[in-house]
């Protein structure tokens, strides 16, 4: 049995989970999310806890057991607390600012880079070199942060670029002069 799939998911107060055929819907104070169930996986609510079980023991169902538990857990966490990714810009003269709902970044290119966040994702700047990406959908928040980081990923020689807060960039030695 899957170690992750066996774990129960505690429902915080104010969060409700309902199963509609092959769809799991979670409502909470921050919003509503849903995910489609994989055939062979069952979701039940018992005593304010969610239990994920599988019907069979074939390879495909075993493979999806832990994943479905993780997806439902992400829904519960998202509607109750939300998710956040923080990025920092390293580079002289490089900065970011919000213009309305658009993130405008000066990253050493000949033009400013503009990014419109997707629906359900909120991007804010905490100073000229700090960017915060928030939302209730973990996948959407992570994807938005990865897209922003992808405009100028950290390079290994000087360490300049956009990186996640706390990310360690492995530095390389430059040229060994004669």
Please tell me whether residue 12 adopts helix, strand or coil conformation: coil
**pLDDT over 60 (residue 1):** no
pLDDT at 164 over 60: yes
pLDDT bin (cut points 50, 70, 90) of residue 3 is: confident
Q: Are 115 and 123 contacting, i.e. CB atoms less than 8 angstroms apart?
A: yes
What is the pTM (predicted TM-score) of this model? 0.89
Residues 142 and 44: their CA atoms lie apart, in Å, by 28
At residue 109, the 3 state secondary structure works out as coil
Asked if residue 163 lies in contact with residue 156, where contact means CB atoms within 8 angstroms, the answer is no
Q: Which two tokens stand for residue 25?
A: 């819907």
- With a cut of 80, say whether residue 168 has pLDDT above it: yes
Cα gap 89→132, rounded to integer Å? 11
Strands 31-36 and 113-115: unpaired
In the DSSP assignment, the letter for residue 18 is E
Domain with CATH 3.90.930.12 in the chain: 3-80, 83-164
The architecture in CATH of the region 83-164 reads: Alpha-Beta Complex (3.90)
Element at 143 (helix H, strand E): helix 138-150
175 vs 160 pLDDT, higher one? 160
pLDDT digits (tens, 9 = 90+) for 13-45: 999 999 998 899 999 999 999 999 999 999 999
pLDDT confidence of residue 178: 65
Confidence of residue 136 (pLDDT cuts 50, 70, 90): very high
| CATH class in words for 3-80 | alpha beta
How crowded is residue 149: how many other Cβ atoms within 10 Å of its Cβ? 19
Query: For residues 20 and 22, what is the distance between their CA atoms, to the nearest angstrom?
Result: 6
pLDDT by residue (tens digit) across 57-115? Answer: 899 998 899 999 999 999 999 999 999 999 999 999 999 999 999 999 999 999 999 99
Beta bridge partners of 33: 26
- pLDDT at residue 138 tops 90: yes
């Amino acid at each position: 049995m899957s170690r992750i799939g066996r774990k129960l998911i505690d429902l915080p107060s104010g969060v409700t989970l309902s199963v509609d055929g092959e769809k799991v819907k979670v409502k909470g104070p921050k919003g509503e999310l849903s995910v489609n169930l994989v055939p062979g996986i069952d979701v039940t609510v018992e005593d304010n806890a969610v239990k994920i079980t599988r019907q069979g023991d074939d390879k495909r169902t075993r493979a999806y057991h832990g994943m479905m538990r993780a997806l439902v857990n992400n829904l519960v966490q998202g509607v109750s607390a939300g998710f956040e990714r923080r990025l920092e810009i390293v580079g002289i003269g490089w900065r970011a600012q919000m213009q309305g709902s658009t993130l405008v970044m000066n990253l050493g290119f000949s033009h400013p880079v503009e990014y419109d966040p997707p629906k359900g994702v909120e991007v804010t700047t905490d100073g000229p070199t700090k960017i915060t990406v928030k939302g209730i959908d973990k996948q959407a928040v992570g994807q938005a942060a990865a897209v922003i980081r992808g405009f100028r990923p950290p390079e290994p020689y000087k360490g300049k670029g956009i990186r996640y807060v706390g990310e360690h960039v492995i530095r390389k030695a430059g040229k060994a002069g004669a």
